[in-house]
Amino acid sequence: KNEVEQSPQNLTAQEGEFITINCSYSVGISALHWLQQHPGGGIVSLFMLSSGKKKHGRLIATINIQEKHSSLHITASHPRDSAVYICAVSLAGTASKLTFGTGTRLQVTL
């Protein structure tokens, strides 16, 4: 079993839909990261959080430390949101080293 699990693996949505991607982890962490990887391969860090909730534009990330679960929400989705979304955790005691989930491939259609 992977230390970081994401669901769903693949997701297709129509433009405007509200999207949720889930991430569960089984280890102690110092922080959880949400990353976005576009088809060209480049990776952008969307959020880094260790508690509560963060919002940036149409993106919202939440984390529940007790339940070891995080969600990434996209409101009013748009085709340009199509990408792979990756959940990664910094293990407790290793502030920088990341353990990655397998990613969620999102396709937003018109």
Partner 1 sequence: GAVVSQHPSRVICKSGTSVKIECRSLDFQATTMFWYRQFPKKSLMLMATSNEGSKATYEQGVEKDKFLINHASLTLSTLTVTSAHPEDSSFYICSLVGGSVVEQFFGPGTRLTVL
Can residue 83 be called a binding residue for partner 1 (CB under 8 A)? no
Chain-centre distance of CA 23, in angstroms?
Answer: 7
Stretch that binds partner 1, among 15-23, 56-64, 67-75, 91-99 (CB under 8 A): 91-99
Q: Minimum Å distance from CB 110 to partner 1?
A: 24
Q: Minimum Å distance from CB 10 to partner 1?
A: 10
Q: Select the residue interacting with partner 1 from 33, 34, 59, 106 (CB under 8 A).
A: 33
Can residue 31 be called a binding residue for partner 1 (CB under 8 A)? yes
Can residue 96 be called a binding residue for partner 1 (CB under 8 A)? yes
Do the Cβ atoms of 74 and 19 come closer than 8 Å? yes
Can residue 104 be called a binding residue for partner 1 (CB under 8 A)? no
Do the Cβ atoms of 52 and 63 come closer than 8 Å? yes
Binding interface with partner 1 (CB under 8 A): 30-31, 33, 35, 40-45, 48, 86, 90, 95-98, 100-103
